Amino acid sequence: MPEFAWPWVFVLLPLPWLCWRWLPVAQPAQALRLPFHGLQLRTGDGARLPRIRVALLALAWLALLTAAARPQWLGPPQPATRSGRSMMLAVDISGSMAMRDMQLGGHVTSRFAAVEAIAGQFIARRQGDRVGLVLFGSRAYLVTPITYDVDAVRAQLRGAAVGLAGRQTAIGDAIGVAVKRLRKLPAKARVLVLLTDGVNNSGSLPPRQAARIAKAAGVRIYTIGIGSGRVRVPGLFGLHLSRSSASLNVAMLKSIAQSTGGRFFRASDTGQLAEAYRRIDALEPLPHHGRQLRPHRELFMWPLGAAVLFLLLALARDWWRLPRGDIA
């Protein structure tokens, strides 16, 4: 149903009449000095505006006030989904994430490309959660603060590049940066999803110490170890199988997850990676319905267009230079 957001604007409706009624009108003799003695300007009824022009100006003023009152079409109430959960994603963009040992859509792709595609879908499903993004390599950086705008978080992930934060892996620092942001929020459910393909070989905070800090702050950590078990690499005698994820510290990732009440997931291909995110979705259910909101659509452009049309019609006589007696 249509409603006005600012109905008090209509108190200005009599303003033009009040100005005409109470403001003094300058007399022709006071406003203009004529060089010819005895020459006078005609005053009286001839100086009045034609009635049709007065009506058009009045309609233009009414339409302008209607537009200023912000007419809106309000839809039916809809429940707003807010879970109260704060979820931070920490994604490894170290040099090893460029290794092409994953398959996506039947094509061989890099680890980070697979993460970007599957984690992007996971982020899009978290409507109702506050989501943030940390990228880490040799150092950890907060890229997107905690926000309900999951599309912005997804766009930041798509804009990331391997090696942007350095070639090494600072897992402990990534946990520390995420926990620092999560612990300041009043949310009861604080979650960190950490994805990496290596061991902690950079940074100033040891991963297990970071996990203890996370546990004290009430942050639950889900860890995902990505990377195929074996990959074909060129060698002296052609292609041969190599252990691409031999450096993955599975014991450390399991310890971090278990000590904080989370879980560890192994993702050696895109199917397991997608399954890991589906399991996290199930363990951290989507939000329940909260307070209700009413969607609205602005309608001010219609009365504003009508005001412009009425004003143009009122001024058309001056533009066309019609005789005074043509419009009465």
pLDDT tens digits, one per residue of 221-279: 999 999 875 555 555 544 444 554 447 889 999 999 999 999 999 988 888 899 999 89
CA distance 171 to 153: 20
Ranges of residues in the chain with a pLDDT under 50 are: 44-46, 237-241, 244-246, 289-290, 322, 324, 326-328
pTM recorded for the entire structure:
0.62
CA distance 208 to 255: 8
> Which whole-number Å values give the CA distances from 165 to 104, 117, 123, 161, in the listed order?
25, 20, 21, 9
Fold of 82-286: Rossmann fold (3.40.50)
